[in-house]
Amino acid sequence: MQIDPPYLMFLGDVPDKLAAKTAYGIVDWRREWCLGQVRLPGCQADLSLPDVTVKDAHAKGARTMIVGIVNAGGVLNPGWVPTIVEALETGMDVASGLHIRLDSNPEIAAAAKAHGRKLHDVRMSDQHFATGKGTKRQGRRLLTVGTDCSVGKKYTVLALEKVMRARGLDADFRATGQTGVFISGRGVAIDAVVADFISGAVEWISPAAESPDHWDLVEGQGSLFHPSFSGVTLGLLHGAQPDAFVICHEPTRKTMRGVQHPLPSIQEVIDLTIRCGQLTNPAIRPVGIAVNTQALGEEEARAYLAGLEKEYGLPATDPIRFGVEGIVDRVVADFPATPA
């Protein structure tokens, strides 16, 4: 899936910020791609982008309108259709993370066809992938893994991309979830792929690099210890064949998201990630720990992270609070540039 920026952000009439979570994620990381926002009467979210019309945005160069809305019920709000149709008529593609296909609406399907525009449904995967092969591909890869779902795996790789690029390293974020796909403009929502093709899809997401020193920073999903999503996580690990991984963790969580199971320890995640990851990369190793310390005071957070550094011999940080420089230092130290 290839989504062309710049983007026009469509928020519809969402009742709160949470319903526009995807849109906020895009603006956080790709502010420069977002030309403006279109909001309908009653909209309770604000991306702090200029409020524009569809025509204005198109005139300014917007190529894709992003429907950055989470709709719980799985229905396409009829009130959104005229704006989506207008974007297609004006000459933009439309991309959505809704649970329902854009082309399930006849007006939208007809407008896309009539104007030769693309409809991207990021949550659906129609793409045909080969099965994974597990053979070594050129380039270096880093994957985020976790003690649970929703512990900062996407944020961590995006923060690493920013710092690594600032240091002149050749690094690309590789998206495996819907918000990530909008942020990178490319990728696959890996949890929507047919089970037989999980690792094959990841091999497509992170293909052989042109340089042996190029880093793909692959967004992790789920956890090897999550009884709902472990299959996605293992297929992702085998497909990504990471040289390095960062363990993401939330220290106050008692049970894994949506189930009754306790969180595994960081050590258990390290051990099983290495055990399984060696299948497609015998040299796999941990390079850092990324902790969401939001629930801790600053001193408490610093003490907790210092304790982890000592216990695991790895840089430990909260990417939001303290940045990821220490992890990048470790990556640079562990993976020196290939001699010319």
Q: Cα torsion for 210, 212, 213, 216, to the nearest 10°?
A: 60
| Terminal Cα distance for the chain, rounded | 34
Cα–Cα distance for residue pair 248/266, rounded to 1 Å: 9
129 in contact with a second copy (CB under 8 A): no
- Which among 324, 340, 39 has a CA at the least distance from the CA of 156? 324
Q: Which of 238, 248, 291, 331 binds a second copy (CB under 8 A)?
A: 238
Q: At what angle are helices 106-115 and 81-90 packed, to 10 degrees?
A: 10
Distances, alpha carbon 3 to alpha carbons 44, 120, 187, 201, 315, in Å: 26, 8, 9, 17, 35
Distances, alpha carbon 163 to alpha carbons 5, 111, 302, in Å: 22, 42, 21
- Pick the closer one to a second copy by CB: 57 or 190: 190
Binding mask 268-307 for a second copy (x = CB under 8 A): ----x--xx--xx---------------------------
258 in contact with a second copy (CB under 8 A): yes
Binding mask 14-33 for a second copy (x = CB under 8 A): --------------------
CB of 216 to a second copy, least distance (A): 17
Which positions from 167 through 196 interact with a second copy, judged by CB under 8 A?
190-196
Q: Which of 14, 57, 181, 224 binds a second copy (CB under 8 A)?
A: 224
CA angle, 314 as apex, 141 and 267 as ends, to 5°? 90
- Pick the closer one to a second copy by CB: 101 or 162: 101
82 in contact with a second copy (CB under 8 A): no
- Pick the closer one to a second copy by CB: 167 or 275: 275
327 in contact with a second copy (CB under 8 A): no
Amino acid at 179: T
CB of 133 to a second copy, least distance (A): 6
- Which among 67, 54, 119 has a CA at the least distance from the CA of 93? 119
Name the site residues for a second copy (rule: CB under 8 A): 131-135, 190-196, 198-200, 224-225, 227-236, 238-239, 258-261, 272, 275-276, 279-280
